[in-house]
Amino acid sequence: MHEKPGEGILKVKSILEKYPKERRYLLAILQDIQKTYNYLPREALNEVRDYLGIPLSSLYSMATFYKALSLKPKGRYVIKVCDGTACHIRGSLDIVEEIKKQLSISPGEVTKDGKFSLETVNCLGSCALAPVMVINDKYYGNLKPAMVKDILESTGD
Amino acid sequence: MKVIIDDKEFEAEYGEYILDVARRNGIHIPTLCHSDAVPGQGSCRLCIVEVYERGKNKVVVSCLYPITGEIKVYTNSEKIHRMRRNIIRLLAARAPGSEYIKKLKEEYGIPEETRFKVDEKEKCVLCGLCVKACEKLGSMAISTVNRGATKKVAPPFEEPPVDCIGCTSCAHVCPTGAIEVREYEGKRVIWNRTFELLKCTSCGRYFITREQYEYMKNRHGIDMKELLCDRCRQKSTAEKLVSLYKKLLVKKTLFQCYRLQKD
Amino acid sequence: MNGMVQVPRRTVLVCCGTGCLANNSMEIYKKLKDKAAELESGFPVIPVLKATGCNGLCERGPIVQVLPDDIFYCKVSVSDVDEIFERTILKGDVIERLLYLDASSGKRVRSFKESEFYKKQFKIALRNIGQIDPSCIDDYIERGGYEALKKALFEMSPEQVISEIERSGLRGRGGAGFPTGYKWRQCSKTNDFPKYVVCNGDEGDPGAFMDRSIMEGDPHSVIEGMIIGAYAVGAEKGFIYIRDEYSLAVRNVSKAIEDAYIRGYLGRDIIGSGFSLDIEVVRGGGAFVCGESTALMASIEGRVGEPRVKYIRSTEKGLWGKPTVLNNVETWANVPVIITRGVEWFSSIGTEKSKGTKVFSLVGKVKNTGLIEVPMGMTLREIIFGIGGGIAGSGKFKAVQTGGPSGGCIPEALLDLPVDFDSLSDAGSMMGSGGMIVMDDRTCMVEVARYYLKFLSEESCGKCTPCREGIRRMLEVLEDICAGEGREEDIELLLELSETVKEASLCGLGKTAPNPVLTTIKYFESEYLAHIKEKRCPAGVCKKLTSYRINADLCRGCGLCAKRCPAGAISGKQGKIYEIDQGICTVCGTCREVCRFGAVEVAGRATE
């Protein structure tokens, strides 16, 4: 579902071509690369540096500052557990704990088989369904820790 | 225009920063991230002062607050003193390894930290001067990475920086001695990258990295048949020195920074 | 239209706001649409299907409305679609069981407008949401859209527009309540070009989704407001900065901009007025601090979102050092209405110093979770217990948090506080962008403060010392308190650090960061003391300070707790009193949640 780096450098070129060579498009370019590869491959960052003439240090700074960008590949299924206030006071951390237990990963990590990565996010704007999590684009609302196992098991490639 | 600092009246130009006026008149305000070479940080917040303007009272950083109207400034009111102590306490808890911070801590009578968990080795206070200096000199080899409590200064991918030329400007501009530079046997190590050093053609002392030399040659078109170290350069003929120095200054080369570091 | 006999239409509005989408409303919409397409011609009714933005009542989603009959269905599922289509859409019959059930009266009501939830609301910014298809510019125009723009461009000078906004008393809806007209005037006075208008849609407060709903549900109102603002200050370029997580908002706003270009509301020589404006969408990168105006501008410029010192205002030196007017989504959405309906009308709503309405996302432990818009000055009590229907479940109201991480927690004693910019600030909180999170007695106020500080320690840009180091240390102290390691002098220390962070930080994020701590200490100090001195979390939230006990007088021996306990820590026999083994218990709270007799009680730290 996501491009592998190396074989997909052409994709980076086609992303870059969509944007004029101006600094203000940097964030948009990085986001597009992130969407294509699920992370920012180093080869891609080198291409961006050459295209926009922005030093690698600035790109690295951007990549570590913005949460939408990541330097490590994410899992094929990205679990985002909402820890917005409404979810928090309705027990979102218990959900996180349960996922940690089930998958043996902490937020920010990827399972060994590369299937899942776990993240906590600030607010998905679905406070009425709190606590909520999203796996790729699928929402799961009114969660209880006991529901987690089944949901993870039913999420398949 | 007039400005009243600590109940005394001084002359200031429109738009001049409080800190500059205070310093000119011998009023001491402590700073950390302020450098005349790379101004405009406003990040350490050590130089806070209280300003009374148009009936309002506010806390501002003196290094960046422009005087544009009638103001009264208090550089060490009870409130400022209290907050400055807190800032120093926070800095000391972050970077207990820095001698400069230790001195500040003593000056403000701050007791040993017993409440917060401290990392004894840390020296960096994240003032950002090193990044600014590197940016200004054009190599942009390092930057701030991450954000919030995990922010730090690092080269890309935290590997020896490819764009670094080993000029050590970052280390020299650092107020807390947080950037390590090691030199031995014609080598210089900074940011975990090892550079080969070139000798001064006059005294034979190692003083400049090959990358630094290449950088100046390529970027500024300066051909330095005579590679002179700082000391020998000063000894060189006055006229040559002045003209070369001016040229270098205008073009913001590395020598400018060397000079600034010494100031 | 074409001279043919008018066949009656029935408009079916399916809510496709994020909350309803999460509950599968897109399936419902598609199925209804398929059914409508299958309908043979010559049928006595033409169904017109529209996917709308958020109706606000997310708790009862998915929502389907049928017009002109004004029938409002809640919690619709895909299996209800056939019946809705056959009975309601084709025949106009009401399906009783799908109607809205009023929490207070216990009655079902046919029209949304009759519900307690809706009745007390007053919609300006949300005027079109739920009523129009946001991807259809004609829907917007049909409801008076772009009339304000015509009026401004052809009947008013820029000066008149500014003075109109000034006189209306409109204040920034993003949080601080800065007078919008004054901001515009400052920018218009500056003789430096180009100038920019920016819309801040980087809504990052956890528990807030007002701006998202507006951008998703009525994007043209924001665009129209921006064009009017740009005309007033003389800007030729605009940016709408939208949080990246809001993919639907990005899509809908981008589509709206495209359509506005096609109709001549954007681009060169807007509808023949001679005025030109371009607007572009910029996706945010996922950084809360970018809600701060100077950080947002840095982000638009393609840099790291670090704020700059603001002693020179953005209206003078903003984006790329040029004069810039930055307003929040809701503020922009208010502008067209003010121009159309006039200052007298607008300023008659609200309080003396806070005019108009405010949108809130009412969430947490409240019955009617959702998005609401009320006149300024309504009391918290009216909002939470009137519109919100009171506390969900068996808990008791404890506090309401307003203003997100920059705001504070307001206790029960202040429930009659009118909600406006100044009253909330006086109480130590702030209006913020409009998150309103209701907390009950099972919410620990120390933990809430810890939660916000944790959030802020991660979201601070890290540039200035007080914010980066101060928040980090305050968090350290709060974590200790929650873990039972608090010291007696900690409250004093928190207060002192708060002052420094508040006064000496560089930007608004740091300057307001201590508010959650300050207000919880101010109004709930006893909870801090219980944690610190008695090593007890009264709400039963802080696990290291909590153990559960079964009250023998209340236990009926039903065994439900033992059955549900995931750790297998509860033992006993049916009909007898059950017991919790403290050595095995993981303090997950399931037993307390499932017990129907309130027999599971919270006690202090378990003693072995």
Distance from CA of C302 to the nearest CA of A (A): 4
Contact B147 A64 (CB under 8 A): yes
Q: C9: which strand partners?
A: C46
Distance from CA of C287 to the nearest CA of A (A): 6
Contact C302 A22 (CB under 8 A): yes
Residue A81 reports pLDDT greater than 60: yes
Q: Which of C550, C586, C546, C541 is nearest to C440 (CA)?
A: C541
Q: Mean pLDDT throughout B112-124?
A: 92
Give the residue from chain C lying closest to A21, CA to CA. Answer: C302
Contact A12, A47 (CB under 8 A): yes
Contact B91, B125 (CB under 8 A): yes
Q: Closest partner residue to A57 among B142, B146, B147, by Cβ? A: B142
Contact B86 C496 (CB under 8 A): yes
Q: Does A94 touch chain C (CB under 8 A)?
A: yes
What span, in angstroms and rounded, lies between the C-alpha atoms of A84 and A92? 9
Residue C477 reports pLDDT greater than 90: yes
Distance from CA of A58 to the nearest CA of C (A): 8
Determine the distance from the C-alpha atom of residue C58 to the mean position of all C-alpha atoms in its chain, rounded to a whole number: 12
Q: For chain B, what is the total number of helices (H) and then of strands (E)?
A: 9, 11
Instruction: Indicate the range of B144-148, C382-386, C584-588 predicted with least confidence.
Output: C584-588
Please give the pLDDT value at position B219. Answer: 77
Residue C81 reports pLDDT greater than 80: yes
Q: C51: which strand partners?
A: C14
What span, in angstroms and rounded, lies between the C-alpha atoms of B133 and B39? 10
Residue keyed to tokens 């009253």: C423
Q: Which conformational region is residue C104 in: left (phi greater than 0), alpha (psi within -120 to 50 degrees), or beta?
A: alpha
Distance from CA of B161 to the nearest CA of A (A): 9
Q: Does A147 touch chain C (CB under 8 A)?
A: no
Listed in sequence order, the residues at least 6 apart from C440 whose beta carbon sits closer than 8 Å to its beta carbon are C365, C391, C393, C395, C396, C397, C398
Distance from CA of A84 to the nearest CA of C (A): 4
Per residue in C293-315, pLDDT (tens digit) is 999 999 999 999 999 988 889 99
> What interhelical angle do C219-233 and C180-189 show, nearest 10?
40
Buried b / exposed e along B228-240 (16+ C-beta atoms within 10 A): bbeebbeeeeeee
Distance from CA of A141 to the nearest CA of B (A): 30
Choose from B32, B43, B119 for mutation: most chain C CBs within 10 A.
Answer: B43
Contact A60 B143 (CB under 8 A): yes
Contact C327, C315 (CB under 8 A): no
Q: Mean pLDDT throughout C190-203?
A: 96
Q: Does A157 touch chain C (CB under 8 A)?
A: no
Q: Mean pLDDT throughout C280-298?
A: 94
Query: Order of strands, edge to edge, in the sheet holding C196-201?
Result: C278-283, C237-242, C196-201, C324-328
Give me the DSSP letters along B23-80: HHTT-----SS--SSS-----S-TTEEEEEETTEEEEEETTT-B--S-EEEESS-HHH
Per residue in B171-228, pLDDT (tens digit) is 999 999 999 999 998 999 999 999 999 998 888 889 899 999 888 888 777 666 677 7
Q: Mean pLDDT throughout C43-70?
A: 88
Query: Order of strands, edge to edge, in the sheet holding C370-375?
Result: C370-375, C357-364, C435-440, C397-402, C408-411
Q: Mean pLDDT throughout C559-582?
A: 91
What element of type H or E holds C280? strand C278-283
Q: Which of B36, B35, B32 is nearest to B44 (CA)?
A: B32
Q: Closest partner residue to B86 among C458, C459, C497, by Cβ? A: C497
Contact C207 A22 (CB under 8 A): no
- β-strand pairing of A77-82 with A116-121: parallel
Average pLDDT of every residue of chain A = 89
Q: Closest partner residue to B163 among A42, A55, A64, by Cβ? A: A55
Contact B66 C311 (CB under 8 A): yes
What element of type H or E holds C262? helix C247-262
Contact B53, B71 (CB under 8 A): yes
CB-neighbour burial class of residue B120 (10 A; exposed 0-12, middle 13-18, buried 19+): exposed
Q: For chain C, what is the total number of helices (H) and then of strands (E)?
A: 25, 19
List CB contacts (< 8 A) between B157 and chain A: 42, 60, 71
Residue B258 reports pLDDT greater than 80: no
Distance from CA of C400 to the nearest CA of A (A): 11
- β-strand pairing of B206-209 with C9-15: unpaired
Distance from CA of B138 to the nearest CA of C (A): 17
Which residues in B have their CB inside 8 Å of a CB on C? 42-46, 48, 59-61, 64-66, 79, 82-83, 86-87, 90-91, 93-94, 115-117, 125-126, 128, 144, 146-151
Q: Which two tokens stand for residue A34?
A: 């992130």
Secondary structure (3-state) at A46: helix
Q: Does B143 touch chain A (CB under 8 A)?
A: yes
Instruction: Indicate the range of B246-255, C163-172, C516-525 predicted with least confidence.
Output: B246-255
Chains contacting A (3+ CB pairs below 8 angstroms): B, C
| Predicted TM-score of the model (pTM) | 0.91
Tell me how far CA of residue B219 lies from CA of A55, B211, B248, in angstroms: 16, 11, 12
Residue B251 reports pLDDT greater than 80: no
Cis ω before C194 (30° cut-off from 0): yes
Contact B43 C470 (CB under 8 A): no
Residue keyed to tokens 């009959």: C69
Choose from C292, C454, C463, C480 for mutation: most chain B CBs within 10 A.
Answer: C463
Q: Which of C599, C447, C410 is nearest to C538 (CA)?
A: C447
List CB contacts (< 8 A) between B163 and chain A: 55-57
Per residue in A31-66, pLDDT (tens digit) is 999 989 989 999 999 999 999 999 999 999 999 999
Residue B250 reports pLDDT greater than 60: no
Residue C550 reports pLDDT greater than 70: yes
Contact A66 C286 (CB under 8 A): yes
Residue C472: CB atoms within 10 A of its CB come to 22
Task: Name the residue with higher pLDDT: B251 or C568.
Answer: C568
List CB contacts (< 8 A) between A59 and chain B: 156
Average pLDDT of every residue of chain C = 92
Give me the DSSP letters along C231-242: HHHT--EEEEEE
Contact B145 A55 (CB under 8 A): no
Contact C328, C334 (CB under 8 A): no
Contact A42 B157 (CB under 8 A): yes
Q: Mean pLDDT throughout B97-101?
A: 92
Contact C282 A126 (CB under 8 A): no
What span, in angstroms and rounded, lies between the C-alpha atoms of C18 and C16? 6
Secondary structure (3-state) at C272: helix
Residue A130 reports pLDDT greater than 60: yes
Residue C496 reports pLDDT greater than 90: yes
Torsion angle, alpha carbons of B39, B43, B47, B52, to 10: 100
Give the residue from chain B lying closest to C467, CA to CA. Answer: B148
What span, in angstroms and rounded, lies between the C-alpha atoms of C11 and C36? 11
CB-neighbour burial class of residue B223 (10 A; exposed 0-12, middle 13-18, buried 19+): exposed
Distance from CA of C405 to the nearest CA of B (A): 15
Q: B17: which strand partners?
A: B66
Cis ω before C62 (30° cut-off from 0): yes
Residue A2 reports pLDDT greater than 60: no
Per residue in C329-370, pLDDT (tens digit) is 999 999 999 999 999 999 999 999 999 999 999 998 998 888
Distance from CA of A2 to the nearest CA of B (A): 23
Please give the pLDDT value at position C567. Answer: 86
Contact A121 C207 (CB under 8 A): no
Contact C199, C327 (CB under 8 A): yes
Contact A128 C437 (CB under 8 A): no
List CB contacts (< 8 A) between A53 and chain C: none
Chains contacting C (3+ CB pairs below 8 angstroms): A, B
Q: What stretches of C484-559 show up as alpha helix (H) in DSSP?
A: 490-504, 508-512, 515-532
Q: Which amino acid is at C281?
A: V
Residue B29: CB atoms within 10 A of its CB come to 22
Distance from CA of B145 to the nearest CA of A (A): 5
Q: Mean pLDDT throughout C30-45?
A: 85
Q: Closest partner residue to B43 among C287, C463, C499, by Cβ? A: C463
Between chain A and chain B, the number of residue pairs with CB atoms below 8 A apart is 36
What element of type H or E holds C48? strand C46-52
Q: Does B163 touch chain A (CB under 8 A)?
A: yes
Q: Does C499 touch chain B (CB under 8 A)?
A: yes
Contact C566 A65 (CB under 8 A): no
What span, in angstroms and rounded, lies between the C-alpha atoms of B148 and A107? 17
Contact C348, C161 (CB under 8 A): no
Tell me how far CA of residue C262 lies from CA of C217, C256, C266, in angstroms: 20, 10, 8
Residue keyed to tokens 């970027």: B219
Choose from A18, A27, A31, A92 for mutation: most chain C CBs within 10 A.
Answer: A27
CA angle C111-C113-C118, nearest 5°?
130
